[in-house]
Amino acid sequence: MDVKVVLQAEPVAGAAKAAAPIAADKMGDSEPKPVAGGAAIVGVRQLCKSFGPIAALKDVSLDIGAGEIRGICGENGAGKSTLVKILTGVYRPDQGAVVVDGVAVSVATPRQAQELGIAIVAQELSLCPDLSVEDNIWLGSLKVPFLHKQPQLRKRAADALALLGASHIALDVPVASLSMGERQLVEIARLLTRDARVLILDEPTATLTDVEIERIFAALLAVKREGRSVLYITHRLAEVYTICDSVSVLRNGELVATRPLNGLDRTALIELMLGRPSGEMYPEEARARGAPALVVDGLSLPGIVDDFTMTARRGEIVCIAGQVGSGAAEIITALAGLVHDASGRVAVNGRQLKLGSPARAARRGIMFVSGDRAAEGVFRRLSVLQNLVATRLREHSLFGFLRGGALRAAASQLAKRVGIDRRRLRARADELSGGNQQKLAFGRCIERQANGVLLMNEPTRGIDVGARAEIYRLMRSFCEEGYALLMASSDLEEIVGVGDVVITLYRGRQVGHYRRGEVTMHRIVADITHPADAAR
């Protein structure tokens, strides 16, 4: 199959139209050079963008070469998404310009960006679940004539998928029947058929399993071999090292450095992102372990988890490691009472607990911090104060009437405990950063007698490197007060870093059980991907 010819990026028609006749040499002498790959395809020059008094981007210039995969790293709020939105025509820069093939162009709308060959693989995929793969690939394309079931279009769609190593995806099945990873491949194929020259991926792997991540990476390498470029935005440093040729680090809206990844070690990269030495990311191991706080015996979730058994002692952090879909997250939500058809024996501090009701679980000291903060973590429209005291209204009310003073005092104390500035008590919860919102969720779980169980799903999802260390310290300090902490995570580094006990899970079955120090990332990967099993 002559994939190459069919998919060769055609000369971009829109580029000429939108191009303003500004010669590249007038753009100043701070001309950045692509650090890898061929001649620069897309770049930005002296880009500035402010929102009110806050400068989101300050004088950012960079260039991405043909066939280069460039990582973009930085903490939350560093300016990554502003940069992406300018490149894709969502925002217009206050100063500076986007440069395509050495010519400054105006990218005023997302459509113009597409015409210039700049395409983003949306985080919330923009596919129609009920339409077929082929229809999705061509949906909205200008090349499609009125009667669109043409063999030629079908072949191009098939070729695009084949190029990405995804020929196993049938063109006629509805997208709804595909996994998240396959949908992402379809989305990329769709952009390729539109002659995208630069693909932007923003945290593409957050919802994917490791096998699917491998597939996406293979697809990106194929894209790169085509001479197209990729802009890869992620919090996961391991992925930067796996897939990227070079990395640009943003901090507080400024471009700190653009470096090839050869010879840049991980500590140095983190220090670039933080602007200071990284210090110790993970807390010490548990000092003292107490009595069993949570004993789970034979927990089953039909079709998801089979016969899960474990014990969490006071003072311990127990990690359940598994890929998305392995059942790790579901075990946590089931123990929190949020799953209806869970069965099995669960004892909290020696007393049996009937699953299925979060309110009942909460009364017995089981607190749940969701991995999905926006959907089930914080009350975004309510104040920080109201969020902090959300679960303790009963103890601060008299005959159903709230005691304002007592609530304020309680909130203020909780804020101090989890490290939220007390002046922000009146701010709306959605004005806080992801890290601070997570602290809010923590604060809510603090009880007066610290003998409860804290359940967490993906405790640091979407939280930047700086705030992560704080969250881990907070988790450890909870344990030292007498809590048992049980968490599910798909971030292996995190699991090895914080887990006193690590339980590995593969397709709903327990694989291994390790103590801290016995476990390595390789061991976990082997367990949760179970190659012997997956091969069949």
Partner 1 sequence: MSDQALSAPWRLPLPHSTGGRVLVAIRLAAVLALVGAAATTPGFFTTVSLFSLLNTMSFIGCVAVGMTFITLSGNIMSFALSVTLSTSGIIFIAALPLGLAGAMIAALAFGAALTGVQGAVIGYFRANPIIVSMAALALITGGATLITQGHGVYPQGNATAPLQGRVFGVPMPLFAFIVTVIAAQIVLSFTRFGRQLYMVGSNWRAALAAGLEPARIVLGAYIAAGLCTALAGILMAGRYSSGDMELGIGYDYHAISAVLVGGTAISGGEGSAIRSLIGAFIIAVCQVLLLLHGFSTQVQYLAIGIIVLVVIMLQTLADEA
Report the interface residues with partner 1, using CB under 8 A: 52, 336, 338, 358-359, 361-363, 367-368, 370, 375-386, 390-391, 393-394, 397, 400-402, 404, 407-408, 425-426, 444
Give the nearest distance from C-beta 297 to partner 1 in angstroms.
23
Q: Are 516 and 285 in contact (CB under 8 A)?
A: yes
Nearer to partner 1, 312 or 384 (CB): 384
Q: What tokens appear for 5 in the block?
A: 């010819």
Q: What tokens appear for 202 in the block?
A: 């923003």
- Give CA–CA dist 476/184, Å, rounded: 37
Output the CA–CA distances (angstroms, integers) from residue 88 to 2, 52, 83, 246, in the order listed: 31, 21, 9, 21
Give the nearest distance from C-beta 336 to partner 1 in angstroms.
7
Give the nearest distance from C-beta 45 to partner 1 in angstroms.
28
Question: At a CB cut-off of 8 Å and minimum separation 6, what does 237 contact?
Answer: 73, 266, 269, 270
Nearer to partner 1, 73 or 378 (CB): 378
Nearer to partner 1, 149 or 426 (CB): 426
Give the nearest distance from C-beta 441 to partner 1 in angstroms.
9
Question: At a CB cut-off of 8 Å and minimum separation 6, what does 349 contact?
Answer: 291, 293, 364, 365, 451
What DSSP line would sit under 144-180, residue for residue? --SS---HHHHHHHHHHHHHTT-TTS-TTSBGGGS-H
Give the nearest distance from C-beta 241 to partner 1 in angstroms.
35
Nearer to partner 1, 61 or 333 (CB): 333
Question: What are φ and ψ of residue 264, in 5° steps?
Answer: -105, 110
Give the nearest distance from C-beta 370 to partner 1 in angstroms.
6
Nearer to partner 1, 67 or 365 (CB): 365
Nearer to partner 1, 287 or 381 (CB): 381
Question: At a CB cut-off of 8 Å and minimum separation 6, what does 93 contact?
Answer: 44, 47, 48, 49, 57, 86
What DSSP line would sit under 398-446, residue for residue? ETTEE-HHHHHHHHHHHHHHHT--GGGTTSBGGGS-HHHHHHHHHHHH-
Q: According to DSSP H, which parts of 169-263 are helical?
A: 180-193, 210-225, 237-243
- Give CA–CA dist 324/261, Å, rounded: 28
Nearer to partner 1, 208 or 385 (CB): 385
Output the CA–CA distances (angstroms, integers) from residue 477 to 218, 302, 349, 450, in the order listed: 41, 35, 20, 11
103 strand-pairing partners: 100
Give the nearest distance from C-beta 299 to partner 1 in angstroms.
19
Nearer to partner 1, 183 or 444 (CB): 444
Give the nearest distance from C-beta 404 to partner 1 in angstroms.
5
The 3-state DSSP class for residue 524 equals helix
Give the nearest distance from C-beta 382 to partner 1 in angstroms.
6
Nearer to partner 1, 408 or 516 (CB): 408
